[in-house]
Structure 1
Amino acid sequence: MYSIIKSLHSNLALVLLFVLFAAVIYILIGFMGNKEFTASSKRIALAGLIAAHLQLVVGLIIYFISPLGIENFSKASMGNSMSRLYMLEHPLMMLLAIVSITIGYSKSKRAATDKQKYKLLSIFYVIGLVFILSRIPWHVWM
């Protein structure tokens, strides 16, 4: 069961990165080009939000069933960089990234102008993407 969920988490991470990169590029083009915020703009931003939340749900399941997650939480584990990455740094940064993406999407819905919508989405989605990229355990993927 654990290996299936872990594989799902890894594959969804690739999907999330692809969707988030595409959304950020689309949003930045819209922002810099002073384009109209259309229904497709909203759907692309929503796709990034949904992918992030889906990954969060699977990640939380792994965190609670994995021997590297909450079971590993101890003072001794804090001294080991790999243990600290899996039990604290990765989950915390991913949570902050998803909060950032969620705030950006929510604020953009209430923005008055198209330029403001693109600006808010670009700021918060880029922050979320940077947080995600900063704490992906690349050594496991490579």
Structure 2
Amino acid sequence: MKIIHSYWAYLVLALLIIATVNAIIGLTQNKEFKDKDLRISLFTLIVTHIQLLIGLGWYFMSPSYKALKEVGMGEAMGNSGLRLLTVEHPLMMIIAIIFITIGWSKHKKQTTDKGKFKAIAIFYGLGLLFVLSRIPWTQWFNS
């Protein structure tokens, strides 16, 4: 499960970067919001939600969760490595997915191409920042 979660994360990160950059380019160059833009944004939304499900499955099977149950939340918060894996990473990824979902929802309500690109750029961009801020980089590259 950890391997699936780690490799799927590469796809999530790549698509999130592509969707955000695509929206920024569309916004700054006053492009028309076409089917391609819709598909990029939608596929990114779907992939991030699949990653959430994989991540939740892995979270409850992980050694970090077992350690959290053994030592308790107070002790886990004092251990930066355990805190990252059991609190910070899951919480920030959920918040990122919430932003991405809000961006998708807001873009659908927009009536202009600029409004659609702006909603995607802002909310997917925020999601990307949250994801990048709490990826356990040292463990990711060692897996």
Q: TM-score, normalised by structure 1?
A: 0.93
1:68 aligns with 2:67: no
Q: Which amino acid aligns with 1:15?
A: L
1:108 aligns with 2:107: yes
- Tell me by how many angstroms 1:63 deviates: 1.0
Q: CA–CA distance in 1 between the matches of 2:32 and 2:63?
A: 48
Q: How does 1:17-56 map to 2 (within 5 A)?
A: 17-56=13-52
Which stretches in structure 1 are left out of the alignment for 5+ residues? none
Please identify runs of 4+ aligned residues in structure 1 that moved more than 6 A.
Answer: none
Match of 2:5 among 2, 9, 14: 9
Q: How does 1:124-139 map to 2 (within 5 A)?
A: 124-139=123-138
Q: CA–CA distance in 2 between the matches of 1:127 and 1:70?
A: 31
Q: Which amino acid aligns with 1:100?
A: F
- Tell me by how many angstroms 1:67 deviates: 2.2
Any idea what the Cα deviations from partners look like across 1:86-110, whole Å, max 9, x if unmatched?
A: 1100000000000000000011001
Equivalent position SS for 2:8:
helix
1:58 aligns with 2:45: no
Query: Aligned residues: percent identity?
Result: 48
Q: CA–CA distance in 1 between the matches of 2:117 and 2:80?
A: 38
Q: TM-score, normalised by structure 2?
A: 0.93
Q: Which amino acid aligns with 1:56?
A: L
Aligned residues: 138
